[in-house]
């Protein structure tokens, strides 16, 4: 039986890892899926869509920033969008929008758990994007739903599938 090495959250936050950054859960370092080119393209495209709205809507996007979801849990949304610029190096306040982009080795159960954690953290909008199937999902109080576009109605924002998956 393999044993797992436990580290403190503070040590984790000071550590860098080879490959994709790892997350942290209750003393354990947790590997994330290996992103593909298409994953990275969609991540940049979503970031660019939000960057264009930064000044007009006070929405500050980042990619792959560690977020302290609760004590003992650090998640790394593929794209996080905050209302206003976070002051912490590792925000412990929820992003307004948390976005996960699926990698080929992601498991649906793990994805839904992560989306649930973002909602519990206080993210107003939680989205998932599947680059391979070109599908969009929203996770809300009723669970995970496939949608045609990603919307933030209170800001009049509507990102169509064509904008996100444009070749």
Q: What percent of the chain has pLDDT over 90?
A: 87
Task: Report the pLDDT value the prediction gives residue 1, as an integer from 0 to 100.
Answer: 45
Does any domain span residue 156?
Answer: yes
Q: Is the pLDDT of residue 20 over 60?
A: yes
Task: Report the pLDDT value the prediction gives residue 66, as an integer from 0 to 100.
Answer: 97
Domain range for residue 94?
A: 34-165
Q: Under a CB-based contact definition with an 8 Å cutoff, are residues 62 and 80 in contact?
A: yes
User: Closest Cα partner for 56 from 153, 127, 156, 123?
Assistant: 156
Alpha-carbon torsion angle 35, 36, 41, 43, nearest 10: -20
| 80-101: burial string, b at 16+ Cβ within 10 Å, e else | bbbbeebeeeebeebbbbbbbb
Count: domains in the chain: 1
E-strand ranges in 17-142 read 23-25, 28-30, 59-63, 67-70, 73-75, 79-83, 97-101, 125-130, 135-140
Does any domain span residue 68?
Answer: yes
Does any domain span residue 5?
Answer: no
The CA distance from 36 to 32, in Å, is 12
Q: Which residues contact 15 (CB under 8 A, 6 or more apart)?
A: 7, 29
Does any domain span residue 28?
Answer: no
Task: Report the pLDDT value the prediction gives residue 69, as an integer from 0 to 100.
Answer: 96
Does any domain span residue 128?
Answer: yes
Does any domain span residue 10?
Answer: no
Q: Under a CB-based contact definition with an 8 Å cutoff, are residues 49 and 56 in contact?
A: no
Give the CATH number of the domain where residue 148 resides. Answer: 3.90.1570.10
Does any domain span residue 119?
Answer: yes
Does any domain span residue 100?
Answer: yes
Task: Dump pLDDT digits (tens) for 46-104.
Answer: 999 999 999 999 999 999 999 999 999 999 999 999 999 999 999 999 999 999 999 99
Task: Report the pLDDT value the prediction gives residue 68, as an integer from 0 to 100.
Answer: 97
């Amino acid at each position: 039986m393999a044993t797992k090495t436990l580290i403190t959250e503070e040590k984790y936050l000071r550590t860098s890892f080879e490959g994709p950054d790892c997350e942290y859960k209750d003393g354990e370092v947790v590997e994330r899926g290996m992103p593909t080119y298409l994953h990275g393209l969609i991540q940049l495209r979503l970031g660019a869509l939000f960057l264009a709205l930064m000044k007009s809507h006070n929405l500050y996007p980042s990619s792959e920033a560690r977020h302290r979801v609760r004590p003992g849990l650090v998640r790394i949304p593929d794209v996080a969008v905050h209302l206003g610029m976070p002051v912490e190096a590792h925000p412990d306040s929820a992003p307004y929008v948390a976005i996960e982009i699926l990698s080929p080795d992601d498991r649906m159960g793990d994805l839904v758990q992560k989306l649930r954690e973002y909602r519990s953290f206080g993210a107003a909008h939680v989205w998932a994007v599947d680059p391979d199937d070109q599908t969009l999902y929203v996770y809300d109080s009723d669970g995970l739903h496939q949608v045609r576009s990603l919307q933030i109605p209170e800001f009049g924002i509507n990102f169509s599938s064509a904008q996100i998956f444009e070749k």
